[in-house]
Amino acid sequence: MTSANDDGTVPIPEPAGLPLLGNIGAIDSEFPLGSLLSMADKHGEIYRMRFPGRTLVIISTRALVNEVCDEKRFQKAINPTLREVRNGVHDGLFSARLDEENWGIAHRVLMPAFGPLSIRSMFDEMHDIASQLALKWARYGPNHQIMVTDDFTRLTLDTLALCSMGFRFNSFYSPELHPFIEAMGDFLVECGNRGRRAPLPSLFYRTQDQKFESDIEVLRSTAREVLESRKAGEGNERKDLLDAMLRGVDTKTGKKMTDESIMDNLITFLIAGHETTSGLLSFAFYQLMKHPACYEKAQREVDELVGKGPITVDHLSKMPYINGVLRETLRINATIPVISVGALEDTVIGGKYKVAKDEVVLLLLAKSQLDPVVFGSGATEFKPERMMDANFERLTKEFPNCWKPFGNGIRGCIGRPFAWQEALLVMAMLLQNFNFVPEANYKFAYKQTLTIKPKDFHMRAVLRDGLTPTTLEPQAGAGSADGGAAAPTATGAPMTVLYGSNSGTCEALARRVAADAPSHGFRAVTVDCLDSAKDRLPTDQPVVVITASYEGQPPDNAGHFVAWLEAADQADKPLKDVSYAVFGCGHKDWAQTYHRIPLLVDTTLEQLGASRLAEPGLTDASTGAVFTDFETWEDDKLWPALAARYGVKSGAGAKEDGSDRIKVHVSNPRTSTLRQDVQEARVVEAKALNAAAAGAGDEK
């Protein structure tokens, strides 16, 4: 029994260790996670391990995890493995300290590139690589045992490289993995090994160190090749992550990313972005193979939604059961099973455990996400229903931070929307076209590098409904493309549209309002960020505000505006002549701060005397229906309210010839099939080249 200290705290349990070496010998070099889990079973919700020159506190309950996720008390720590990763990627987004300038610049520059509009535009290239996987499995035939993790690694690496930097590894066209992949895998394993080394002279590790440096050179030479090709003009028309890194300017410092920082983050994306998603897909199919009833429900959802037609980006927001499958998979098999934070000051957690300033605390997600206090006695059972939308929302509100596979707070995974869209697409495409048969007598085991995956997991893929590889090819290659329309020139009643946006989504919605305004009798005389309107909201025209929350805080270009609203004296009603409407974007996985800023702006404007024109519109980015929700709010709430208030007839500001109301659907099957690097264009004029053609009438 542990006795209390004089101050009421209790000692944190510690496993027995060796002199000088501490607990190094207690960690299995092949499967470190297993050692941490075993000690959690033995010592309970918290224990401390000692290593030469440092200590680690490991916590494993949801309550303690929730407490240390408070970014006012703890922030991301660079644990020993990440410290070694920095040898290859320095201060990239995943491995940087919070106070490093390059992290802040890269984070702010890249946020818009991971917004919903940008991610949606990547669908066709995601579809391209997913189709390659489907065709490979189809051509293998129904009796071939597929090495699942290897092929999902090829898939996710190729997808990320193509979508983010226009680079093709072409992993499905070679039996050998690209040298980058081999080097990356060895690099990550050695990072873990180096973090657990005994304090011996470097001579003892000469061979390992030489291989480590060689692997780093392969990683950096690949990144350098991609960067130099783009700077030389190859792919300059692409609007992707690499383009954002080359052209983007940090809104806070006015600086651009350096070439070294770009290379660091290219490697970071390829490592962190593909390892986690390939693990998620591998575990998801393992769980579905293990639970046939869940498999049938997932496949039925795809059949009823998509049928035998091509999968489009709009289908992905309409698969609640598969969403539940992916969430439940990450709950039980978190691909990053441990994250680390450090205490900003000496503190006490759990009401009784002392943690010293800068001491690293490991959050054992592989344990805390199975907490029976949250998930009941069946916490270890695979039940996708518990993680479907309504119940998932309830759980995350009632038990904050019970589900943390994408990290915490401001250092959470920036690529989460990318990974989720890719995973949904791949799940849908494979379930639509194949039935899967697990390897007989497979004995589950983990394989651990920086992430975890099921070790040596195989299954067979059997084409469904009479499909053959030949008939699958045109179906798998069918993509989707969206056509756009230019905004009409217009006159009409003036209006102001303001946005708060880091990812670019709210800005895009604001410009959509401006484009739609003429057909409703208005014209947007101002479209700008919220900070531009601090102290000077117009009083002679309607003001439409579109904003989001980021961990409960305003976007970077709305912070001054929100602070101004909060500081204003409500008693004087200083905004009594302002008329406004608010639309808010949020993500329900952040349940504690869901829509905080949009609702705060809406409520505070009213408290300061402004007149609300329409009830606030709200959307959840996790559903993928941001644009549908926004259009519904526009059509049903905003424009009718503005018409009633200002007496403007719909269409009063539109072009008289009505051309702004013409819609044309553009289909480009040749482009999507051949994967040509071309884009749609709008025809502005057509002329006959000769007199004969001019007289050919309507038949030409």
pLDDT score recorded for residue 488: 41
Specify the CATH number for 493-646; select among 3.30.70.1400, 3.30.565.10, 3.40.50.300, 3.40.50.360.
Answer: 3.40.50.360
> Per mean pLDDT, which range of 76-90, 477-491, 544-558, 599-613 is the poorest?
477-491
pLDDT tens string 191-240:
988 877 877 888 899 999 999 999 999 999 999 999 999 998 876 778 89
> Residue 462: pLDDT above 90?
yes
Q: Please name the residues in contact with 378: beta carbons below 8 A apart, sequence gap of 6 or more.
A: none
Is 406 in the active site?
A: yes
pLDDT score recorded for residue 480: 53
Q: How many C-alpha atoms does 187 have within 13 Å on its Cβ side?
A: 26
Cα separation of 609 and 82, whole Å? 51
Cα separation of 491 and 504, whole Å? 27
Give the confidence band of 483 by pLDDT, cuts at 50, 70, 90.
Answer: very low
166: region left, alpha or beta (phi > 0 left; psi from -120 to 50 alpha): left
pLDDT score recorded for residue 689: 60
Structure tokens at 80: 């020993």
Cα separation of 68 and 73, whole Å? 7
Give the confidence band of 487 by pLDDT, cuts at 50, 70, 90.
Answer: very low
Containing H/E element for 191? helix 179-195
8 Å CB contact between 573 and 605:
no
Q: Which residue has the higher pLDDT, 293 or 478?
A: 293
Strand runs labelled E in 439-501: 446-448, 452-454, 458-463, 493-500
8 Å CB contact between 654 and 519:
yes
Query: Torsion angle, CA of 349/354/358/359, rounded to 10 degrees?
Result: -100
Give the confidence band of 330 by pLDDT, cuts at 50, 70, 90.
Answer: very high
Catalytic residue among 191, 402, 413, 529: 413
pLDDT tens string 4-58:
777 889 999 999 999 888 998 899 988 999 999 999 999 999 999 999 889 999 9
First to last CA, the chain: 93
231-239: long-range contacts at Cβ-Cβ below 8 A with a sequence spacing of 24 or more?
234/166, 235/166, 237/677, 238/166, 239/118, 239/121
Give the other-Cβ count within 10 Å of 325's Cβ: 29
pLDDT tens string 374-384:
999 999 999 99
8 Å CB contact between 642 and 612:
no
Containing H/E element for 89? helix 80-89
Domain with CATH 3.40.50.360 in the chain: 493-646
Is 413 in the active site?
A: yes
> Per mean pLDDT, which range of 231-240, 307-316, 382-391 is the poorest?
231-240
Residue entry with tokens 């639970």:
291
pTM (2 d.p.): 0.76
Cα separation of 455 and 437, whole Å? 17
Give the other-Cβ count within 10 Å of 692's Cβ: 9
Residue entry with tokens 């829509």:
595
CATH number of 101-336+375-474: 1.10.630.10
pLDDT tens string 396-449:
999 999 999 999 988 889 999 999 999 999 999 999 999 999 998 899 999 988
pLDDT score recorded for residue 176: 80
Give the confidence band of 684 by pLDDT, cuts at 50, 70, 90.
Answer: low
Cα separation of 106 and 255, whole Å? 10
Residue entry with tokens 């406004």:
580
Is 402 in the active site?
A: no
pLDDT tens string 512-563:
999 999 999 999 999 998 988 888 899 999 999 999 988 788 988 888 899 8
- Cβ-count burial of 21 within 10 angstroms (0-12 exposed, 13-18 middle, 19+ buried)? middle
> Residue 477: pLDDT above 80?
no
Give which of 15, 23, 32 is closest to 193, Cα–Cα: 32
Which residues make beta-bridge pairs with 459? Answer: 146, 438
8 Å CB contact between 429 and 476:
yes
> Residue 653: pLDDT above 70?
no
| Percent residues over pLDDT 70 in the chain | 90
- Cβ-count burial of 276 within 10 angstroms (0-12 exposed, 13-18 middle, 19+ buried)? buried
pLDDT score recorded for residue 556: 83
Give the other-Cβ count within 10 Å of 107's Cβ: 19
> Residue 580: pLDDT above 60?
yes
Give which of 468, 491, 439 is closest to 651, Cα–Cα: 491
Domain with CATH 1.10.630.10 in the chain: 101-336+375-474
Please state, in angstroms and as integers, the Cα–Cα distance from residue 64 to each residue in 5, 68, 380, 400, following that order: 20, 6, 19, 11
8 Å CB contact between 80 and 386:
no
Cα separation of 86 and 88, whole Å? 5
Give the other-Cβ count within 10 Å of 233's Cβ: 8
Structure tokens at 461: 């893929």
Cα separation of 650 and 403, whole Å? 47
Containing H/E element for 147? strand 146-147
Give the confidence band of 275 by pLDDT, cuts at 50, 70, 90.
Answer: confident
Structure tokens at 278: 């390939």
> Residue 677: pLDDT above 90?
no
Query: Which of helix, strand or coil describes residue 663?
Result: coil
Cα separation of 566 and 529, whole Å? 18
413 is in an annotated binding site: yes
Which residues make beta-bridge pairs with 634? Answer: none
SS3 content of the chain, % helix, strand, coil (to 5): 50, 15, 35
pLDDT tens string 164-173:
999 999 999 8
pLDDT tens string 92-117:
999 999 899 999 999 999 988 888 88
Question: Taking each helix axis from N to C terminus, what angle separates 259-290 and 292-306, rounded to the nearest 10 degrees?
Answer: 110
pLDDT score recorded for residue 548: 92
CA geometry: angle 176, 152, 437, nearest 5 deg? 110
Query: Torsion angle, CA of 452/454/459/461, rounded to 10 degrees?
Result: -20
Average pLDDT over residues 567-583: 93
Give which of 54, 278, 14, 322 is closest to 158, Cα–Cα: 278
User: Radius of gyration of the chain from Cα atoms?
Assistant: 27
Catalytic residue among 399, 406, 418, 630: 406
Residue entry with tokens 């007199």:
691
Torsion angles phi and psi, residue 461, rounded to 5: -115, 120
Question: Taking each helix axis from N to C terminus, what angle separates 416-433 and 469-476, rounded to the nearest 10 degrees?
Answer: 150
Cα separation of 118 and 126, whole Å? 13
pLDDT tens string 497-510:
999 988 788 998 99
Structure tokens at 462: 């059997």
Average pLDDT over residues 638-642: 95
Amino acid at 689: L
Cα separation of 497 and 514, whole Å? 7
Cα separation of 685 and 674, whole Å? 28
> Residue 671: pLDDT above 70?
no
Residue entry with tokens 């290659």:
477
Residue entry with tokens 């998620």:
280
Query: Which of helix, strand or coil describes residue 649?
Result: coil
Catalytic residue among 61, 156, 268, 276: 276
> Residue 353: pLDDT above 80?
yes
pLDDT score recorded for residue 3: 66
Average pLDDT over residues 333-350: 96
Cα separation of 384 and 369, whole Å? 14
8 Å CB contact between 604 and 565:
yes
| Percent residues over pLDDT 90 in the chain | 66
CA 191 to chain CA mean position, Å = 25
